[in-house]
Amino acid sequence: MRIVAISNQKGGVGKTTTAVNLAACLTQRGVRVLLIDLDPQANATSGLGLAQEEGGSLYPALVDGTDPRLAIRSTRLPNLSIIRSHQELAGCEIELAQAGNHMARFREVLAPLRDSGHFDYAIVDTPPSLGVLMTSALAAADELLVPIQCEYFGLEGLSKIVNVVQQIRDCGANPNLLLEGIVMTMFDSRANLSNQVVSDVRNYFSETCYQTVIPRTVRLGEAPSFGKSIIEYEPSGRGSQAYRALADEFLARRQQQTQAASAGAKFMDNVVSQAG
C-alpha cells in the first residue's frame, strides 16, 4: 500500500476536493483505495455523505493504541473505503505533541494497514496547517501531492510546503518522502493570472507539475453539500472529466516509476554479473 498525503498548509485550495475526487476516480479504474480523513474539520467525511462519530476517527488508534482497522468503513463506491474524521482529532494535536514521538506515531498506526494487502493506496487528507497531524502525515507518507490554487498566494504557499518537505527529509523523520506532484486547481481560463500562475509553476517544477488542470466550476463546489463525489454528482461535467484525467495521469506516473525501477534493477544485475 502506497501512502499519499494530500497537503497544503493554506486552506481553500481544493485539497479535500482533490482527495475525495481523486480517490473516487481511482476506484473507477479498479484501484483499491482507503481515504483517511485526518482533518478535524471532517470535510472529506461529510463530502461523501457520512456522519461524524465520536471514536470513529483515528484518534483512538493514535492516542490509545487501538487497532486502526476497526475504524475502516466501506462507502457506496466500490473499492473505496474510508477512515472518517471527528473534531476529537483537534485534541490529538496536543496529546501527540506531549507524547514526544508524534513524528513516528502516524507511521506506526498505519503499519498494520500497509501490511494487510487490502488496499493499493491510502490517500490522506491532512489539515490545512503546519501542526502535528500534518507533519506526522508527511513523516509517514511515501509521497506528497500538493494542490495549489491558480492565484498569486498559491505560489507563496507552494514555496512553504516545499521547505517543509525538505525539513522532514533533513531531520530524518522521512528521508525518502517524495514530492510526487503539484496539481493546479480552481483554474479560470478567462483570467490572465490563472494562466500566468500555471506557466510559472510549470517552469519551476516542470517534472513535478501535473499536466491536468482542475477547473473552477460551480458543480465541484456543490457536490460536497449533497454528500457526493463529482463523478456521482455530475458524471459528464468538466469537473468529472478533469479528475478522471488526473487519476489516469497519477496511475501513468506510477507505471513509469515501476518501469524505471525495473530497468535500473536489470542494469545493476548485469553489472554484477559481468563483474563476477
The DSSP H or E segment spanning 22 is: helix 15-28
H-type helices in 100-217, by residue range? 102-116, 132-140, 152-170, 192-204
Q: Give pLDDT, residue 41.
A: 94
SS3 content of the chain, % helix, strand, coil (to 5): 55, 15, 30
Digit-by-digit pLDDT tens for the chain (276 residues) are 999 999 998 888 999 999 999 999 999 999 999 999 999 999 999 999 999 988 899 999 999 899 999 999 999 999 999 999 999 998 888 888 787 777 889 999 999 999 888 999 999 999 998 888 999 999 999 999 999 988 777 777 788 888 889 999 999 999 999 999 999 999 888 778 888 888 888 888 888 999 999 999 999 999 999 999 999 999 999 999 999 999 999 999 988 776 655 555 454 455 445 555
**Strands of 80-83's sheet, edge to edge?**
72-74, 80-83, 33-37, 121-125, 2-6, 143-149, 178-187, 209-215
| pTM given for the model | 0.90
Among 3.40.50.620, 3.40.50.800, 1.50.10.20, 3.40.50.300, name the CATH number for the domain at 2-275: 3.40.50.300
